[in-house]
Structure 1
Amino acid sequence: MTSTDPNEQYFGEYQEVFDAPQQKLLIDIGFKALKPRNHPLEAKIAQHEANLLGYYAIEYEGYLNVFADDNELVGGLILQRRWNAVYIYSFYIIESLRGIGLGKRLLTLAEHLALQMGGKALVLETSTLHTYQFYLNNGFQILSEVSGYIDGENWLHMFKEINPEQ
């Protein structure tokens, strides 16, 4: 479990071993329901949405953490579900472990976890500063592209529908 708070309860926690060329990596996976926010404005918005939807749309947070043999965190990603979209945040793999299929495996695991969290699509933001082609190669589409947001680079909003039958 990634949290240091012993009272936090993650669901669907499990682990997987990934065979990297020089070592075995441990992928730690889980998610939890988020508590409703305490800010009065967000409470009003949540109540408004619940009235429109007929139910309270629970938000979830998920994680995939990759650890090396020495328990060093060497990669992973964070997920958050809002309505039926699951956002990928902070996706990172150290450079020495790139190009071995680990990123593709993490995206596949993220899709499975997103489905467990009730998601129907993965959404992310990236830029031409990063390897956005990786996402295109893994089935994501560019929803919007904005120049000038990052000096000399383009900001990208990307999307991929996920299907339980895949």
Structure 2
Amino acid sequence: MAAIVVEPDQDETRAAVLRGLTAHNQSRVGSRNTKPLAISLRDEHGSIVGGLVGEMKWEWLYVDLLWIDEAHRGAGFGEALMAQAEREAREHGVKGVFLGTMSIQAPEFYPRLGYRECGRMENYPVAGQTLHHFTKAL
């Protein structure tokens, strides 16, 4: 008989769930063809002052993180990072990009780059704020 158990540590459960879900998904849509993506913005001293982190899988790029240090904002680096990510994605055979950003971050930034809002989650991360979901075909 099966039992539901709240585990003290998620590692074993996460690994088992990921294996099962990966096998299920692969049987229906093929290999994930996963490739991590990390693009940094470095200052004149080589310090990272911004960057983009994501993952390409199947035919999509998921942009997980995008950040520019306050002192370097407004100089076009965000656009340049996104453009480089899109170039890398195209070279990997990616057909589209998706991401999420909170209302306290930069939801107005992405439509200027051709992204369209495809969903919202109200009151996230706290009441009065919104999580915006964006996508763009490449």
TM-score, length-scaled by structure 2: 0.82
CA distance in structure 1 between the aligned counterparts of 2:121 and 2:47, rounded to whole angstroms: 36
2:56 matched residue in structure 1: 81
1:125 matched residue in structure 2: 100
User: How far 1:83 sits from its partner (Å)?
Assistant: 1.9
2:120–2:133 CA contact under 8 A, matched in 1:
yes
CA distance in structure 2 between the aligned counterparts of 1:161 and 1:40, rounded to whole angstroms: 33
Runs (5+) with no aligned partner, structure 2: 1-13
Normalized per residue, the structure richer in helix is 2
CA distance in structure 2 between the aligned counterparts of 1:146 and 1:49, rounded to whole angstroms: 26
2:130 matched residue in structure 1: 154
1:45 matched residue in structure 2: 21
Which 10-residue stretch deviates more, 44-53 or 102-111?
Answer: 44-53
Q: Could you give the per-residue CA deviations for residues 94-150 of structure 1, whole angstroms, max 9, x where no partner exists?
A: 111111111111111110011123311111110111121111111111111121122
SS at match of 2:74: coil
TM-score, length-scaled by structure 1: 0.69
User: How far 1:160 sits from its partner (Å)?
Assistant: 0.8
Q: Could you give the per-residue CA deviations for residues 31-69 of structure 1, whole angstroms, max 9, x where no partner exists?
A: xxxxxxx9233222222222223x422211011111111
Runs (5+) with no aligned partner, structure 1: 1-37
Aligned residue runs from structure 1 range 1-166, under 5 A = 39-53=15-29, 55-151=30-126, 152-162=128-138
CA distance in structure 1 between the aligned counterparts of 2:137 and 2:77, rounded to whole angstroms: 21
* RMSD of aligned alpha carbons: 1.6
Which 10-residue stretch deviates more, 105-114 or 145-154?
Answer: 145-154
Number of residue-to-residue matches in the alignment: 124
CA distance in structure 2 between the aligned counterparts of 1:98 and 1:123, rounded to whole angstroms: 22
Which letter maps to 1:146?
Answer: M
SS at match of 2:108: helix
Extract structure 1 runs of 4+ deviating beyond 6 A. Answer: none
